[in-house]
Structure formats: C-alpha cells, structure tokens
Structure 1
Amino acid sequence: MQKLETGLGVYKRAYANLDSERWQSERLKQEADKQREDLENQLKSHRIVTFLDGGGAIFSAHLILQGQAGGHAASCVLSDSIMQYVLSLCGANR
C-alpha cells in the first residue's frame, strides 16, 4: 500500500509541475500578445507628413540630369533625411 501511495505522490507532483509550466507558458504568451498589440497600436498612431515648397526646393544638378532615376534617388535621400531627423528627436525606440 505504501508503494502505491509513494507512486501516486510522484504522479501528483509531476502533474502539478506540468500544470504550473502550462500556466506559465500561457501567461508568457498573453504578455507577448499584449506587447505585440501595444507595438502595433504605437505604429498605427504615428504619422509623419512632409510639405515641400516647390519654389524653395533646391535639387542637385546631377540628380536633375538623371531624369526619373534622379527623382527616385532624390526621394530616397529626402526620405532618409526625414527619418534621421525624426530619430534624432524621438530616439530609435519610437
């Protein structure tokens, strides 16, 4: 009878450990889901709008000479410059 009780105790502890691990796993999953949702909400709520003054814009002559490819390059330079400016104001975590 004592052997059976000892064996039963071992199974009860093993079940309790598994149940505890399952609970911790579910809690970690809920925390990760919450963090992902918070990050998605942060990304949705921030917009950057840039207005360009066409009369005051000064482009590089070498970009103008490249035509459409130069326009694309100019837009990339502008986009990168805006991103660097925003990061300098808000930091990389925003």
Structure 2
Amino acid sequence: MCFTIYSVDISNMIKLYLFSKKVHRFLVVIIAVIGLTMSLTGILLKYPFISEKLVYIDLITIRYIHNNLSPFFTIVFLLMMLTGIVMYIFPFTRNR
C-alpha cells in the first residue's frame, strides 16, 4: 500500500515537472520579447541623441512603453523563476 501512495506522488511530480517545463518554455519566449523591447527603449532613454536623429521617435512614448512593460517583465520573470525551481528540484525527488 505504501508503494502505491509513493507511485502516485511520483506520478504527480512527473506531471508537475512536465507542466512546469511547458510553462517555462512559453515564458522564455515572452521574456525574450519583453526584455528586447525594454532594452531597446532603455537605450533610447539613456541616449536621447539617438531619438533626435530619428524624428518619428517620441521620448514620452518610449518612457510610457518602458514603464508599462516593467511590471509584466517582473511577473513573467518571477513565474519563470518558480517553474525553474520546480524543474531544478525534480531530479532530487526521483532519487528517493
């Protein structure tokens, strides 16, 4: 009876690991897009002479985009960290 309880726990851990892996892969793509956008807007904010050469770039809009993306970046990064921790701990649970 103890073996069946143990095997159910392993089955649930495998399901959690596979779910975490899928979510983590999806979040990696999202964080790459958000991170690239934030890095480009951050460069434009740090070096305003670039925006002077490109007349269609407005610093207020760039600042608005950069400031509004940062909470999403933080949430996605925290979720990615949590799924990464689950994937890191999973091999240690299999060794029991």
Q: TM-score, length-normalised on structure 1? A: 0.44
Greater share of helix? 2
- Higher RCO, Cα 8 Å, sep 6+: 2
Q: TM-score, length-normalised on structure 2? A: 0.44
